[in-house]
Amino acid sequence: NAGVMQNPRHLVRRRGQEARLRCSPMKGHSHVYWYRQLPEEGLKFMVYLQKENIIDESGMPKERFSAEFPKEGPSILRIQQVVRGDSAAYFCASSSGRGQRSYNEQFFGPGTRLTVL
């Protein structure tokens, strides 16, 4: 059973370009979370999605950032017109969401390291 897949693992973009980060959750998982981590810092929640729905995007900047989790295919985190401050590791995690009070263990992907030149 494959774990959470993220690609690309490393992404280099120049200022002003677009960055597209992909996340395939574990098989059977319908809940996806995106986090940003700056070097030597903690995990900052960005967005929580279920299939075709954004449940909580309170951690995502209002401009330039968007996320989706379509019925078919991976979840996508898109950053438009990237700036140097967007350089970070972006982690995706998935959970089954079953038995809400007793589960919600999050399985993390290996992350995408974004570098903006």
Partner 1 sequence: GQQVMQIPQYQHVQEGEDFTTYCNSSTTLSNIQWYKQRPGGHPVFLIQLVKSGEVKKQKRLTFQFGEAKKNSSLHITATQTTDVGTYFCAGLNSGGYQKVTFGTGTKLQVIP
| Contacts of 101 by beta carbon, 8 Å cutoff, 6+ apart | none
Q: Which is nearer to partner 1, 73 or 97 (CB)?
A: 97
Q: Which is nearer to partner 1, 1 or 100 (CB)?
A: 100
Cβ 100 to partner 1 shortest distance, Å: 6
Contact footprint for partner 1 (CB under 8 A) = 33, 35, 40-45, 48, 55-56, 58, 91, 93, 100-102, 104-111
- Is residue 45 a contact partner of residue 57, using CB atoms and an 8 Å limit? no
Cβ 80 to partner 1 shortest distance, Å: 25
Determine the Cα–Cα distance for residues 49 and 61; give it in Å rounded to an integer. Answer: 16
Determine the Cα–Cα distance for residues 13 and 71; give it in Å rounded to an integer. Answer: 28
Q: Which is nearer to partner 1, 42 or 85 (CB)?
A: 42
